[in-house]
Amino acid sequence: MDINTFLAQFVSGLSVAMLLFLISSGLTLIFGVVNVLNFAHGSFYLLGTYFAYQLMQLFNNFWVGLLVGAIGAGIVGMVIEILFLRRIYGRAQEGAFQLLMTFAFILILDDVVKFIWGPEYKTIPKPDSLMGSFNMGSVMVPTYNVFIIVVGLLVVLFAWYFLTKTDTGKTVRASSLDRVMLGLLGTNVPMIMTLVFGVATAMGGLAGVLAAPLRTVTPGAGVEFIIDSMIVVVIGGFGNFWGALLGALIIGEVLSFGILWMPELATVLTFIVMIIVLIVKPEGLLAKKAVGRK
C-alpha cells in the first residue's frame, strides 16, 4: 500500500474517530463523575439533530442551530437527571436500574421525536463556509471533516484546561473520586452532578448537530450509537476522558484499515478489539486503578 492510500485512510479514520470521540466523551464524563451508565446518550445526540433541524427550518443559520442543538440537549439532560436519575442514586443494584431507566428514555424520546417531527428522513445542509474540499498532497479532504476534527480538538483542550486548571474543574474531578467526602466539605454535590450531566449531554447534542449535515436526521439514529460509543468508552477506560479519545482513534483507524485489508470482517472488528482490550486490560487502556467493586 502506497503512502497516498495510507494517508487517505488515516485521515478518514481520523474524522470518523473525532465524531465518535465527541459522542463518547460525554458518555465517559457522565460515568466518571456522575457514576451513571447513560445508555440513552444516543438519544441526546438525536435531540441535538432534531433541535438543530427545527431551528434551521426557522432561521436557516447553522451556527445558531449548533448552539441551540447542544444547549437544548443539555437542558433536557439536566431535567432528566434532576427529575428521574436522582431518585435512583444509592440504590442496591443501581447499575441495573440505571440501565433500565436510560433504556426507558431511549424508547420514550424516540417516539416523542417521531411524534413531533414525523418519520420521514430529514437533512441539515452544511454551512456554506464549510462546503467543498481541499487537497492535502494527493489526498482530498472535505473542509467539513477538518472542521469536525478541529472542534474535537478544541473540546479536548478546553476540557483539559477546565478539569485541571480551574477550581470548578477540580471540584468535578474530586466528586468522581469521593462524592461523600466532597459533600461533607460543603460542596453542593448534587448540583455539580446535574451540571456535569448537562454538559455531557450537551456534548452529545453537539455531536449530533455536527454529524447531522453528514448523515440523515431520522428517528432511530440515536440507538445506533449506543453500542459504538460504549465500545469506545470500554476500550479507553470508563470515566477517562483521554481514554475516550484513544479508544475512538483506535476504533476509527481499525475500521478504516480493516475496510482495505479485511472487508468482510470490518463489521465485527470493533467487537474483537473490545474483547481483546477487555481480556488484556479490563479496566480500559488508560485507567490507572484496578477494577474495584462497584
Partner 1 sequence: MRKKRWGGNSTLKKIKDYLPWIVYFVFFVGILVVNPGTHYIHLVARVIIFSLYAVAFNLLYGTTGLVSFGHALFYGVGAYITGMLVKAAGPEYFLLFIILGAAGAAFVSIFIGLLTLRLTGVYFTMLTLAFAQLAWGLTFKLYHFTGGDDGIQAIPKPAMLTGGVTKYYIFSFIIVTICMYLLWRIRRSPFGSVLNCIRQNPQRITFLGMNVYKNQLKAFVISAFFAGVAGGLYAGLDGSIHPDMLHWPTSGNAILMATIGGMGTFFGPVVGAGILTGLEEIVGKYTEYWSFCIGVVVLIVVLLFPNGVLGIKKISGNKNNEEKETEVVCNS
Partner 2 sequence: MKRKLISLLLVLAVLAPLTAVYGAETIKIGALYTMTGRGGQYGKDSEVAIKIALDEVNAKGLPGGAKLDVIITDDKNPQYAVSVAKRYITDEKCKFLFGIISTAIGLAVTEVSKEHKVIFIGTDHAGTDLTANKFQKYYFRSSNNTFQSMMAGAYYLKDEVKNWKKIAYIGPDYAYGRDQWMELKWGLDKLGVKYQVVGEYWPKLYEPDYTSYITAIMKAAPDILVNGMWGGDTVSFIKQAKPYGLFNKMKYFHVDAGGNYEALAALGADMPEGIIMSARHHNNWPDTPANKAYVQKFYKAAGRYPSYAAEGAYVGVHMIAEAIRKVGNANDTEALVKALEGMKIQTPEDPPGFTSYIDPKTHQIVQIQAIGTTVKNDKFPPAKYMLGNFKIYPADKLWPSFEYIDYMTKVKGK
Contact residues toward partner 1 (CB under 8 A) are: 31, 37, 84, 87-88, 90-97, 99-101, 103-108, 110-112, 114-115, 227, 230-231, 234, 238, 264-265, 267-268, 271-272, 274-275, 278-279, 282-283, 291-294
From partner 1, partner 2, none, interface partner of 80 (C-beta below 5 to 8 A by class): none
Nearer to partner 2, 50 or 144 (CB): 144
Copy the grid coordinates of residue 58.
Answer: 426557522
Spatial separation of the C-alpha atoms in residues 151 and 252, rounded to whole Å: 17
Residue in this structure with the C-alpha cell 467493586, named with its chain if needed: 293
Spatial separation of the C-alpha atoms in residues 100 and 198, rounded to whole Å: 20
CB of 75 to partner 2, least distance (A): 25
CB of 167 to partner 1, least distance (A): 27
From partner 2, partner 1, none, interface partner of 142 (C-beta below 5 to 8 A by class): partner 2
CA angle 61, 64, 70 (to 5 degrees): 135
CB of 293 to partner 1, least distance (A): 5
Buried b / exposed e over 210-236, threshold 16 CB at 10 Å, is bbbbeeebbbebbbebbebbbbbbbbb
Spatial separation of the C-alpha atoms in residues 70 and 48, rounded to whole Å: 6
Query: Beta-carbon neighbour count of residue 133 at 10 Å?
Result: 13
In which element (H, E) is residue 188 found? none
β strands within 22-173, DSSP E? 133-136, 139-142
Please spell the DSSP secondary structure of 29-41, one letter per residue.
HIIIII----TTH
Nearer to partner 2, 133 or 188 (CB): 133
Q: Are 207 and 25 spatial neighbours (Cβ–Cβ below 8 Å)?
A: no
Nearer to partner 1, 90 or 186 (CB): 90
Binding site for partner 2 (CB under 8 A): 4-5, 8-9, 11-13, 15-16, 19-20, 110-111, 114, 118-123, 125, 131-133, 139-140, 142-145, 211, 213-216, 218-221, 223-225, 252, 255-256, 259-260, 263-264, 266-267
CB of 97 to partner 1, least distance (A): 5
CB of 283 to partner 1, least distance (A): 7
Nearer to partner 2, 33 or 226 (CB): 226
From partner 2, partner 1, none, interface partner of 214 (C-beta below 5 to 8 A by class): partner 2
Query: Beta-carbon neighbour count of residue 144 at 10 Å?
Result: 19
Nearer to partner 1, 65 or 77 (CB): 77
Nearer to partner 2, 10 or 97 (CB): 10
